[in-house]
Amino acid sequence: MSWFKQFAQSSIGAKSAVALTGLAMVGFVVAHLSGNLLVFAGRDAINGYSEWLHSKGALLWVARIGLLAMVGLHIFFTIKLNLHNKDARPVAYVKKTYTKAKPTSRSMVLSGLVLLSYIVYHLAHLTFRVTNPEFAQLDVYTMLISSFRSPMVSLSYIVGMVLLGAHLSHGVTSLFQTLGLNHPKYNPIIRAIGPILGVVLALGFSSIPVSVLFGLVQ
Amino acid sequence: MKLKLHVWRQKNAKTQGKMVTYDAPNVSPHMSFLEMLDVVNEDLIAKGEEPIAFEHDCREGICGSCSLMINGVAHGPQKATTTCQLHMRTFKDGDEIYIEPWRAKAFPIIKDLVVDRSAFDRIIQAGGYVSVNAGGAQDANCLPVPKDTADQAMDAAQCIGCGACVAACKNASAMLFTSAKVSHLGLLPQGQPERQRRALNMVQQMDKEGFGNCTNQYECEAVCPKEISVRFIARMNRDYLNASICGSGPEKKAGGGED
């Protein structure tokens, strides 16, 4: 396995790990959104979906641990790469002008870190229900509605999802390049897919707290 | 034209450097950027001061010797242009210009604006050789190369190794340079026998030299005087992944026959 060690320690190997774990998490986020949107189909639809998920028992835990591993590896390799990057330019320029880098691509570490703190809050809030112990007795639908009626809670979710969109608008397009997928014929699609997915996910997720705030879903 | 220059002065690799301001009162818009520095240096020499050290050779945009971060952009504001081909008409009378050396751990400063780019030479050396059969010369065109492939190989081969890609990258990554060198041989039939090994060895050397990692922001492509495309970076990633995952592993000792 010496080739694997060498590969994982190389810049391209580490970058591929970030790309692949990122891709896995994108898959999860898309599935998560499609589940969440059932809230618009009514109380029974989303409660039924939640019961179906929880009936999977061990399988659900396999998925959860797998997802946690993806998050962990994504962060581990990003930190490793980032420290190396900082080390590669010990003396900064007095004047530096950016010509092509976008705000979303330049703030990946920041958007990633805020997203991480968002995820911790979100898990404590709706998965483990630590922030509001009274949720333990409630069904998913009631829990969502009562949570998102608070403008502060809704706002923190919306900010989290806007940052998710920003993170993915660079990340998703970028992962194609890292994995070597760059072709003039497909580049217009590759360039567009990150920003499109970012906007769709941010709007899709945010639509739920916004609808609750404005009383469209009760 | 009258200009105010802020130039990085550093005596040698061991001393601390700092920005020093100079006035350039008689600049012709027809001068190249380096000729402008020549004139400033003449004045410094006349005053008995140490002239500003900068690297240059062909002054026609093909050798890759000149460098300079000009107002925070490698090779200055004009697209697809080396510093020696940049003319002062690109600037306005009264402009302030910041002039700095390439900054990267892998490019240590030798003096003022001159940096040591031999890390690039070592990456090229790590690429090794291409197999060429000895004996009589082949007939011309007996190895068919599609026009599109030949064009791409030529695009990659345009790299002059100036290091602007490293200088512009926020991570001081050498991916554009290395990918151009990996690709211009990897695209051609003559480069196939050693293609995997070349990608592995050159990437390994690049990492060893202490360059940063690519974050796909494409600042390198924007400043490259030869307009090398980031498409080659993807190509190198592909070659490297292929060589690592599907390749036959570490190189065996040279020499034919059985061990």
ipTM of the complex: 0.94
Mutual angle of helices A140-148 and A43-54, in 10-degree steps: 120
Give the residue among B130, B131, B123, B128 at the shortest CA–CA distance from B202.
Answer: B123
Asked whether the beta carbons of B221 and B229 are under 8 A apart, the reply is yes
The answer to whether A186 faces chain B, any CB pair under 8 Å, is no
Residue among A1, A81, A87, A100 with most chain B CBs within 10 A, to mutate: A100
The answer to whether B115 faces chain A, any CB pair under 8 Å, is no
Determine the residue of chain A that is closest to B106 in CA distance: A88
CATH code: domain B117-131+145-246 is 1.10.1060.10
Q: B217 and A102 in contact by Cβ < 8 A?
A: yes
Asked whether the beta carbons of A43 and A212 are under 8 A apart, the reply is no
Chain mean pLDDT for chain B:
94
Neighbours of B248 (CB within 10 A): 10
Percent of chain B at pLDDT > 70 equals 96
Residue among B18, B244, B245 with most chain A CBs within 10 A, to mutate: B244
Strand ranges across the sheet with B73-74: B18-24, B3-9, B96-100, B69-70, B73-74
Residue A69 lies in a domain: yes
Give the residue among B229, B120, B215 at the shortest CA–CA distance from B183.
Answer: B229
What tokens does B196 get? 């995997």
Q: Dump pLDDT digits (tens) for A65-78.
A: 999 999 999 999 99
The answer to whether A95 faces chain B, any CB pair under 8 Å, is yes
What's the CA gap between B72 and B98, in Å, rounded? 7
For residue A15, give its domain range.
2-90+102-213
Pairing of strands B96-100, B3-9: parallel
| Ordered DSSP codes for chain A | -HHHHHHHHSHHHHHHHHHHHHHHHHHHHHHHHHHHGGGGG-HHHHHHHHHHHHTTTHHHHHHHHHHHHHHHHHHHHHHHHHHHHHHH--S--SS---SS--HHHHTHHHHHHHHHHHHHHHIIIIIS--S-GGGGGS-HHHHHHHHHTSHHHHHHHHHHHHHHHHHHHHHHHHHHHHTT---TTTHHHHHHHHHHHHHHHHHHHHHHHHHHHTTS--
User: Which chain B residues have a beta carbon less than 8 Å from that of A97?
Assistant: 71-73
- Over 50: is that where the pLDDT of B259 sits? no
Q: Where do the CATH 3.10.20.30 domains begin and end in chain B?
A: 3-111
Residue A172 lies in a domain: yes
Q: B235 and A88 in contact by Cβ < 8 A?
A: no
In this structure, chain A runs to a length of 218
Q: B213 and A105 in contact by Cβ < 8 A?
A: no
Q: A106 and B170 in contact by Cβ < 8 A?
A: yes
Give the residue among B174, B241, B177 at the shortest CA–CA distance from B214.
Answer: B174
Reported as a pLDDT band with limits 50, 70 and 90, residue A135 is confident
User: Which chain B residues have a beta carbon less than 8 Å from that of A3?
Assistant: 244, 247, 249-250
Cα-atom radius of gyration of chain A, to the nearest Å? 20
Residues 201-220, chain B, touching A (beta carbon < 8 A): 203-204, 206-207, 210-219
Chain A to chain B Cβ contacts (< 8 Å): 139
Q: Quick one: average pLDDT of B50-71? A: 97
pLDDT for residue B248: 77
**CATH number (domain holding residue A62):** 1.20.1300
Percent of chain B at pLDDT > 90 equals 89
Residue A162 lies in a domain: yes
Q: A11 and B207 in contact by Cβ < 8 A?
A: yes
Sign (positive or negative) of CA dihedral B81, B87, B89, B91: positive
Top-level class of domain B3-111: alpha beta
Look-up of token digits 């998490």? A25
Residue A132 lies in a domain: yes
What's the CA gap between B17 and A189, in Å, rounded? 46
How many Å lie between the alpha carbon of B169 and the closest alpha carbon of chain A?
Answer: 9
Q: Dump pLDDT digits (tens) for A90-102.
A: 999 999 999 899 9
Residue A186 lies in a domain: yes
Q: B170 and A15 in contact by Cβ < 8 A?
A: no
Q: Dump pLDDT digits (tens) for B111-136.
A: 999 999 999 999 999 999 988 888 88
Span of A97-101, B40-44, B254-258 with lowest mean pLDDT: B254-258
Q: What's the per-residue H, E or C state across chain B?
A: CCEEEEEEECCCCCCCCEEEEEEECCCCCCCEHHHHHHHHHHHHHHCCCCCCCCCCCCCCCCCCCCCCEECCEECCCCCCCCHHHCEHHHCCCCCEEEEECCCECCECEEECCEECCHHHHHHHHHCCCCCCCCCCCCCCCCCCCCHHHHHHHHHHHCCCCCCHHHHHCCCCECHHHHHHHHHHHHCCHHHCCCHHHHHHHHHHHHHHCCCECCCCCCHHHHHCCCCCCCHHHHHHHHHHHHHHHCCCCCCCCCCCCCC
Reported as a pLDDT band with limits 50, 70 and 90, residue A2 is confident
The answer to whether B99 faces chain A, any CB pair under 8 Å, is no
Determine the residue of chain A that is closest to B72 in CA distance: A96
Chain mean pLDDT for chain A:
95
The answer to whether B16 faces chain A, any CB pair under 8 Å, is no
How many Å lie between the alpha carbon of B116 and the closest alpha carbon of chain A?
Answer: 14
User: Which chain A residues have a beta carbon less than 8 Å from that of B4?
Assistant: none
Residues 14-43, chain A, touching B (beta carbon < 8 A): 14-16
The answer to whether B78 faces chain A, any CB pair under 8 Å, is no
User: Which chain B residues have a beta carbon less than 8 Å from that of A15?
Assistant: 213-214, 237
Q: Dump pLDDT digits (tens) for B14-38.
A: 999 999 999 999 999 999 999 999 9
Q: B237 and A93 in contact by Cβ < 8 A?
A: no
What's the CA gap between A210 and A154, in Å, rounded? 7
What tokens does B242 get? 């292929």
Q: How many domains does chain A have?
A: 1
Residue A38 lies in a domain: yes
- Over 50: is that where the pLDDT of B196 sits? yes
Residue A205 lies in a domain: yes
Q: Which amino acid is at B217?
A: Q
Q: Quick one: average pLDDT of A23-51? A: 96
pLDDT for residue B28: 97
Reported as a pLDDT band with limits 50, 70 and 90, residue B253 is low
Q: Where do the CATH 1.10.1060.10 domains begin and end in chain B?
A: 117-131+145-246
Q: A89 and B172 in contact by Cβ < 8 A?
A: yes
* pTM to 2 decimal places: 0.94
What's the CA gap between B70 and B91, in Å, rounded? 11
Instruction: Name the residue among A88, A94, A182 with its Cβ closest to that of B172.
Output: A88
Residue A8 lies in a domain: yes
